[in-house]
Amino acid sequence: MRTPFVVGNWKLNKTIGEALSLVTELKNQLSAVKGVAVGVAPTFVALGSVAKRLEGSAIATCAQDCFWESTGAWTGELSAPLLADAGATWAIVGHSERRQHFGDTSVSVGKKARAVLAAGLGVIVCVGETLAERDGNRTLQVVDEQLAGGLGDMAASVAPKLVIAYEPVWAIGTGRTATPAQAQEVHAHIRQRLTERFGAVAADQIRIQYGGSVKPSNAEALMAEKDIDGALVGGASLEAADFIAIVKAARSG
């Protein structure tokens, strides 16, 4: 039985002060909620303060990205050991906005994912097709290619620290969500690929989040699908009430 994992991806939003007030509210209101794991991904500048505020709570602090080298002449970059030092326990890699605007490729996403795991953090590897790719019936092919690159040569033992986020690009920030059936079809496909890659036991442990305009109104139906194990939430994670409603909808059991 997989514990669902809901992560709020704040993207380029919230000052440190705003981040702290949101996270304080989440910490207070989610302390008694069981059967679901929760994380927040603040901006890098707020990450250390957020992690400190979350000490003693079960809410994980996640980074939104991570470079693959640990130290050196890499102006502007942040490494997995530094993120861990600031208090992060998870990092997202391969978000479609990184792929679209910042040149991330399946190869670089794989390098990032391996660096995150090597530093002892958990990794959320995002995959998902554009509208043109879906319309061209290439969804599964694109997901396969991104998944293969993202996983690289990982071993099955990473399963507890590996999360795949399926985020159709056409559903991100558009208000247009994949239907539960559309999402489940791709999630089942990903699970099948994970089974081929890691074996059934590990594949059964790996959580596959759905992302793309998840809201309180659609979360329950999405989370009811067999292979949807939580959500990566953008816009709706910026408001405590909406995010809390999504977390509650994702509870198992």
The pair of structure tokens assigned to 138 is 């290439």
Using CB under 6 A as the binding rule, whether residue 149 contacts ligand PGA is answered as: no
Using CB under 6 A as the binding rule, whether residue 233 contacts ligand PGA is answered as: yes
> Considering 95, 129, 133, 189, which one is annotated as catalytic?
95
- Which of 113, 116, 151, 172 is in the footprint of ligand PGA by CB under 6 A? 172
* Known catalytic residue at 167: yes
Using CB under 6 A as the binding rule, whether residue 235 contacts ligand PGA is answered as: yes
| Residue nearest ligand PGA by beta-carbon distance | 234
> Is the distance from CB of 115 to CB of 67 less than 8 angstroms?
yes
Whole-angstrom distance, CA of residue 50 vs CA of residue 17: 10
Single out the segment in contact with ligand PGA by CB under 6 A; choices: 18-26, 50-58, 139-147, 208-216.
Answer: 208-216
Show contacts with ligand PGA in window 72-101 (CB under 6 A). Answer: none
Q: Which amino acid is at 208?
A: I
Q: What burial class does residue 45 get, using C-beta atoms within 10 Å of its C-beta: 0-12 exposed, 13-18 middle, 19+ buried?
A: exposed
Using CB under 6 A as the binding rule, whether residue 106 contacts ligand PGA is answered as: no
> Considering 97, 129, 133, 167, which one is annotated as catalytic?
167
Using CB under 6 A as the binding rule, whether residue 124 contacts ligand PGA is answered as: no
**Angle, CA of 144, 177 and 226, to the nearest 5°:** 60
- Which of 65, 133, 167, 242 is in the footprint of ligand PGA by CB under 6 A? 167
108/218 with CB nearer ligand PGA: 218
Q: Is 169 helix (H, G, I), strand (E, B) or coil?
A: helix
Q: Which amino acid is at 212?
A: G
* b/e code 192-231 from CB counts within 10 Å (16+ = b): ebbeeebeeebbebbbbbbbbbbbbebbeebbebebbbbb
Which secondary structure element, helix H or strand E, spans residue 131, and what is its range? helix 131-135
Using CB under 6 A as the binding rule, whether residue 232 contacts ligand PGA is answered as: yes
* Known catalytic residue at 95: yes
Using CB under 6 A as the binding rule, whether residue 173 contacts ligand PGA is answered as: yes
Whole-angstrom distance, CA of residue 14 vs CA of residue 35: 28
141/174 with CB nearer ligand PGA: 174
Single out the segment in contact with ligand PGA by CB under 6 A; choices: 81-89, 104-112, 113-121, 227-235.
Answer: 227-235
Q: How far is the CB of 34 from ligand PGA (least distance, A)?
A: 24
Q: Is 86 helix (H, G, I), strand (E, B) or coil?
A: coil
Beta-ladder partners of 209: 165
The pair of structure tokens assigned to 5 is 């994992």
Using CB under 6 A as the binding rule, whether residue 240 contacts ligand PGA is answered as: no
Using CB under 6 A as the binding rule, whether residue 123 contacts ligand PGA is answered as: no
Catalytic residues: 95, 167
Residue numbers of the site for ligand PGA (CB under 6 A)? 9, 167, 172-173, 211-214, 232-236
